[in-house]
Amino acid sequence: MGPRITGPRAKPIRAGASGYTLVELIVVIALIGIMLSFSLPKFRDSFLTDNSKKVSRWFMIKVRSLKHEALKNRKLYTLHLELGEDRMWVSHEGMSEEEQAAASRSGYDLPENIEIIDVEYPDGKKISFGRADIRFYKDGYSDKVLIHLEDGDNNRTSLLIEPFLSKVKYYEEYVGFDH
């Protein structure tokens, strides 16, 4: 027999000590592999649609923030949507031309696979190229507008900004104003 280690923490090894067998380890690894094979497609799909959700969250946060800032500072704020360039930026009354140019340069660029299809107003006016402006007034309300987005897989979403509500309504389809 070899040397025997003793002490308060040492435990002698018994001849019939149990552990995991190779078969048990192979079964556990196979089960983990099967579970991953079912979860990876969902994980991959969530990354592909994440840009659309990211842009929608950006709009929701920005609209709430602009309504609050306009009311708090008692200034007219404008969210500028550059269609075709897929860029958004904010200005407020009292900004100089240099400040507006700097705000435009440092604006939010949409991810590569997301584009603004058009911006629709309740009076039937629809802007699909150029610049669309959404105003946030110093009394705490905004223009009513629908923003239509499309991702690289031709999935369309619509975001409705209501004048007196700070929450943006999200639709997983292209919706318009009923005329």
Q: What residue segments make up the domains of the chain, in order of their start?
A: 49-171
Write down the pLDDT at residue 120. 94
Planar angle of CA 111, 54, 163, nearest 5 degrees? 110
Name the fold adopted by 49-171: minor pseudopilin epsh fold (3.55.40)
Write down the pLDDT at residue 52. 78
Write down the pLDDT at residue 9. 60
Planar angle of CA 53, 142, 58, nearest 5 degrees? 20
* CA–CA distance, 174 with 159 (Å, rounded to integer): 9
Write down the pLDDT at residue 33. 83
Write down the pLDDT at residue 179. 47
Residue entry with tokens 């389809």: 173
Write down the pLDDT at residue 16. 59
DSSP H helical ranges for the chain: 22-73, 97-105
pLDDT (tens digit, 0 to 9) for every residue of the chain, 179 residues total? 555 655 556 555 555 557 788 888 899 998 888 887 777 666 555 544 567 788 888 888 899 999 999 999 999 999 999 998 888 999 999 899 999 989 888 888 888 888 899 999 999 899 999 999 999 999 989 999 999 998 888 889 999 999 998 889 999 899 988 74
How much is the pTM?
0.69
* CA–CA distance, 41 with 53 (Å, rounded to integer): 18
DSSP 8-class letter at 26: H
Query: What three-state secondary structure class fits 56?
Result: helix
Write down the pLDDT at residue 91. 93
In angstroms, how far apart are the furthest CA atoms of the chain?
95
| DSSP codes of every residue in 60-81 | HHHHHHHHHHHHHHT--EEEEE
Write down the pLDDT at residue 48. 47
Cβ-contact 104, 89 below 8 angstroms: yes
